[in-house]
Amino acid sequence: MNKIENLLNIDVSSVDPSVEADRTLTVCNACRYCEGYCPVFKAITYRRVFDNPDLDYLANLCHQCGACYQACQYAPPHEFGIDVPKALSLLRAENYARYAWPQRAGKLFQNNPTWLSLITGLCLALLMYLSNASVSIDETTDSGNFYSIISHSVMVAFAGLTFACASIALVLGMRRYWQAITDKATPSFSLAALNKAVRAGLNLTHLSKHNQVGCPGDSEGPSPWKRYSHQLTLWGFLLCFVSTCTATAYHYLLGITAPYPYQSIPVLIGTLGGLMLLSGTSGFIYLKFNQRRAMQMGQLQLDLTLTTSLWLIALSGLLLLVLRETNAMPALLLVHLGFVFGFFITMPYSKMVHGLFRMLSLILFYAETEDAVGDPAGSE
């Protein structure tokens, strides 16, 4: 009968995340004090009741900045026990598995993210090592030459295959999500809305707006450090990707083969990207263990698996650069590439998908905001 009363005394973690998100946002929709904070609170005013794809969409709009929790008159120990960031975080985690393609892989990964990432990385490293034994080494065996350890064709085959698998699974998963959230009404899309969404997504506008003050050790108050860590990680990751693309262009278009000198473009970009990625993920790991709230948000293992594997990839990549002329190189190379390719193959099921879920949600949000007129706010 009464979902508020029925859920008052239930341990939230044992409840279906959709049910808890519905209960939470129903309270929010009757309150609306947070409407100035972020798109979630604007988007709920367009709705009277929330069904499942609606809730998924709203969950993925949330950037988990925490401002609404700090401001909430119904936060625990109030008997309503409202915690919007946590309720939506739990639902997002469930979404990553539910919309994944194939769904079974998503669920499997979600249950054991850390072990699966580790095992995938190590298996790929081993496979590459074994593949190499059967492939004749047609390059020179100079020190610092990666192809003397793993032949170029094996490397390309692994890279191409893992990247292709990841891309296909990602596209199919995201298509499934997009179809679900736009099922009831497809808003009219404009370039302006798309532009706003992409800008807001890449700038993390909705993570930063109300978190301009605070320090990384602050366990309760607002802090801009999560955004700093995120931006270092994101742009560091993208720079590493650009570095790889540049190196590919060097190889195929310019005919210049690796190893590239330290002052070459791929190495410079890659080094910068690697350092950013290393510091960004270090920041995340520090915040995770030092902000009491961050530990309780329901995605701890997914988050740590992603940040730790990116951290390892960055560290092994940088070490590889520094130690490429020593005899640590072969082992480092196998580990680095194993984790890079492992990262790609698990990407459609890992926390990496949050960026795509969120971007699609932002696109829908800015589109429906141009269309809709919400209910007026109330007051006392």
Binding site for other proteins (CB under 8 A): 1-5, 26-27, 29-31, 33-37, 48, 67-68, 70-80, 210, 221, 375-380
Distance of CA 188 to CAs 39, 58, 230, Å?
A: 18, 19, 31
What minimum distance in Å lies between the beta carbon of 372 and other proteins? Answer: 13
**Residue (120 or 223) nearer to other proteins, CB:** 223
| Structure-token pair, residue 61 | 């709009």
Q: How far apart are CA 127 and CA 285, in angstroms?
A: 30
What minimum distance in Å lies between the beta carbon of 64 and other proteins? Answer: 16
What minimum distance in Å lies between the beta carbon of 213 and other proteins? Answer: 8
**Residue (84 or 100) nearer to other proteins, CB:** 84
8 Å CB contact between 117 and 358 = no
**Residue (35 or 370) nearer to other proteins, CB:** 35
**Residue (73 or 188) nearer to other proteins, CB:** 73
What minimum distance in Å lies between the beta carbon of 77 and other proteins? Answer: 5
**Residue (36 or 355) nearer to other proteins, CB:** 36
What minimum distance in Å lies between the beta carbon of 3 and other proteins? Answer: 7
DSSP annotation string for 256-282:
PPSSPPTTSHHHHHHHHHHHHHHHHHH
Q: How far apart are CA 148 and CA 138, in angstroms?
A: 8
**Residue (160 or 221) nearer to other proteins, CB:** 221
Measured from the Cβ of residue 260, the count of other Cβ atoms closer than 10 Å reads: 18
What minimum distance in Å lies between the beta carbon of 144 and other proteins? Answer: 55
Distance of CA 65 to CAs 14, 37, 83, Å?
A: 24, 10, 12
B/e letters for 123-142, b = 16+ CB within 10 Å, e = fewer, are ebbeebbebbeeeeeeeeee
Helix axis angle for 152-181 and 113-134, nearest 10°, is 150
